[in-house]
Amino acid sequence: MIVACWQATSHCGNPSAPLDRIAEVAGRAAAAGAELLVTPELSATGYPRALADVDSVAEPADGPTARAMADIAATANIAIAYGWPEWKRDGVRNSVALVGSDGSTLAVYNKVHLYGHRERAAFVPGDEAVVQARVGDVTVGLLVCFDVEFPEPVRAHAVAGTDLLVVPTALESPWDMVADTVVPTRAFESQLYLCYANWAGPEGDGHFCGRSRIVGPDGRGEPAGGSGEELLLADVDHERLRAARAVTPYLRDRRPDLYRDLL
């Protein structure tokens, strides 16, 4: 399965722009042969706008944004992972949804590890570690940004059978080393594919560092995205997964009987 990773730049505060841009990119990704498009964290609103106006932009999982994304996916005939502030009765979640190429909702994941005081002021954390769905013959797992910086949820996905871990993010400088070092390490130590889709460029007082990438289960991948908008493509190959797990058998050689109590 070919996966497309969209590194996006700011939509300059235009509320209609995110969905229009996702529709355009979905068409390009599908034309390139991709079956799945991964977009950055809170891509349906933009990350800063979601934090600044969370009460006005939050929607339930079956709201107008979800219906629009279903139409986009079905029109382009491609599965899409997108983020938005999800309204729930107990608070707003930083969520990512996976919608199938027929427009059906396959999975919704709520970010578990919230980063910094701004996120903790805007959102309540999720309470489900492993959320998966099938896209074609690939088991796709979902995390969001800061989640991937913890080894435990990534390993939990690997043990649960995730082939491709999708991680929408909003990583700012000077934390480039997360994209350059931590993300490849997570893919390598758990022998899975990892698609890390970031924003790029200035936004308010910050600067999103780009560096999006699709990493294979051997920790290697194509060169990372640069500092602007890009669409990266890679093939999720089951044979490469099997080979990586045979050569570096971390999953097989674990000793959870010794450290289960520590977790």
The Cα-based distances of 137 to 101, 133, 263 in angstroms read 14, 10, 31
The mean predicted confidence, pLDDT, of the chain is 94
**Global pTM value:** 0.96
The DSSP secondary-structure symbol of 106 reads E
Q: Is the pLDDT of residue 12 over 50?
A: no
Cα gap 146→42, rounded to integer Å = 13
Catalytic site includes residue 111? yes
The DSSP secondary-structure symbol of 225 reads P
Q: Is the pLDDT of residue 16 over 60?
A: no
Which entry of 5, 59, 86, 111 is annotated as an active-site residue? 111
Which entry of 5, 35, 41, 86 is annotated as an active-site residue? 41
Instruction: Read off φ and ψ for residue 24, nearest 5 degrees.
Output: -65, -45
Which entry of 5, 86, 119, 145 is annotated as an active-site residue? 145
Q: Measured in Å, how far apart are the chain's first and last C-alpha atoms?
A: 34
Cα gap 10→49, rounded to integer Å = 10
pLDDT in tens, 189-202: 999 999 999 999 98
Average of per-residue pLDDT across 224-228: 87
Q: Are 111 and 95 in contact (CB under 8 A)?
A: yes
pLDDT in tens, 60-102: 999 999 999 999 999 999 999 999 999 999 999 999 999 999 9
Residue 161, class by beta-carbon neighbours within 10 Å (0-12 exposed, 13-18 middle, 19+ buried)?
Answer: exposed
Tokens of 232: 């990266």
pLDDT in tens, 31-41: 999 999 999 99
The DSSP secondary-structure symbol of 14 reads -
pLDDT in tens, 147-200: 999 999 999 999 999 999 999 999 999 999 999 999 999 999 999 999 999 999
Tokens of 167: 């991680």
Q: Is the pLDDT of residue 234 over 70?
A: yes
For residue 72, give the nearest of 110, 102, 109, 49 by alpha carbon: 102
CA dihedral over 116, 41, 201, 186, signed as positive or negative: positive
What's the CA dihedral at 71, 74, 75, 76 to 10 degrees?
Answer: 120
Catalytic site includes residue 12? no
